[in-house]
């Protein structure tokens, strides 16, 4: 049986790198019991670094059986799910709408839309069934859910879809103590962002390239923890956090 002083149980997808790794490590440091999910077990083990409150589960979120297994393993170990950080995602190809191959589109949507939806569904089922009932889902959107970069149609469409997923979960979860919010992060310094702040920088809307500011991924993780740690009576629906001075607010 779990002890009453044990911290909340959080499932973090894409926990092997980037924002997922930073969030998982911060949660572990703050006393959460954290399930680290991702495709590469060695990366998950690096994230957990032998922490007693870390459980690693190899999981490809595009596979429904993997998602079911992830949440079954969570419930078997800790008996409940308090938080899902629905984080795993892919940038997909650099292509305009007329260049995007059907295969590349399907692969991007499979991770970013279907995978996020499958994880949310499994989390909600667990949250409805547990006592006390309820929990919190935090979806990792992107500032591309608001304003796209050029040649990012697959990513942009899937991240706009996450906004609809977030609102639907929040609405459908109301009667069960389940809240849902979205964090849209711009230019956190992760491996994925390596080209933004170096060399010729990132492609801009006017066709130029520009080296853009970035900010530490640990600071993005703190914003996720703020959302996760809110009392059940409050729901944080949307957080936008970007590198100061990046070209997001102004016109491109």
Q: Is 32 a catalytic residue?
A: no
Please compute Rg for the chain using Cα positions: 18
Name beta bridge partners: 215. 188
Give the residue carrying structure tokens 């393993």.
73
Q: Quick check: helix, strand or coil at residue 154? A: helix
For the record, the structure tokens of 232 come out as 């059940």
Positive or negative torsion for Cα 155, 106, 14, 231 = positive
Q: Which residues of 76-114 are buried (b: 16+ CB within 10 A; e: fewer)?
A: eebebbbbbbbbbbbbbbbbeeeebeeeebebbbbbbbb
For the record, the structure tokens of 121 come out as 């569904």
For the record, the structure tokens of 172 come out as 């459908």
Choosing from 155, 183, 215, 224, the catalytic residue is: 155
For the record, the structure tokens of 230 come out as 């809110």
Helices 153-173 + 116-129 axis angle, to 10: 10
User: What torsion do the CA atoms of 242, 244, 250, 252 make, to the nearest 10 degrees?
Assistant: -80
- The DSSP call for residue 204 is P
Q: Please, what is the end-to-end C-alpha distance for the chain in angstroms?
A: 55
Catalytic sites, residue numbers: 155
């Amino acid at each position: 049986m779990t002890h009453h002083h044990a911290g909340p149980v959080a499932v973090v997808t894409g926990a092997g790198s980037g924002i997922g790794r930073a969030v998982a490590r911060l949660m572990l440091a703050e006393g959460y019991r954290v399930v680290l999910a991702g495709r590469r077990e060695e990366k998950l083990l690096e994230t957990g670094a032998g922490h007693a409150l870390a459980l690693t589960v190899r999981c490809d979120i595009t596979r429904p059986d993997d998602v079911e297994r992830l949440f079954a393993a969570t419930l078997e170990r800790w008996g409940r799910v308090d938080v899902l950080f629905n984080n795993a995602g892919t940038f997909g190809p650099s292509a305009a709408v007329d260049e995007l191959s059907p295969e590349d589109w399907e692969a991007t949507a499979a991770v970013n839309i279907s995978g996020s939806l499958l994880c949310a569904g499994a989390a909600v089922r667990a949250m409805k069934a547990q006592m006390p009932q309820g929990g919190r889902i935090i979806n990792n959107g992107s500032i591309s859910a608001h304003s796209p970069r050029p040649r990012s149609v697959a990513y942009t469409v899937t991240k706009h879809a996450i906004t609809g997923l977030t609102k639907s979960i929040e609405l459908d979860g109301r009667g069960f103590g389940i809240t849902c919010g979205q964090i849209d992060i711009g230019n956190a310094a992760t491996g994925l962002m390596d080209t933004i702040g170096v060399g010729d920088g990132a492609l801009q809307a006017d066709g130029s390239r520009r080296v853009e500011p970035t900010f530490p991924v640990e600071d993005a993780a703190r914003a996720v923890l703020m959302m996760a740690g809110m009392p059940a009576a409050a729901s944080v629906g949307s957080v936008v956090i970007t590198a100061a001075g990046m070209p997001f607010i102004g016109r491109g």
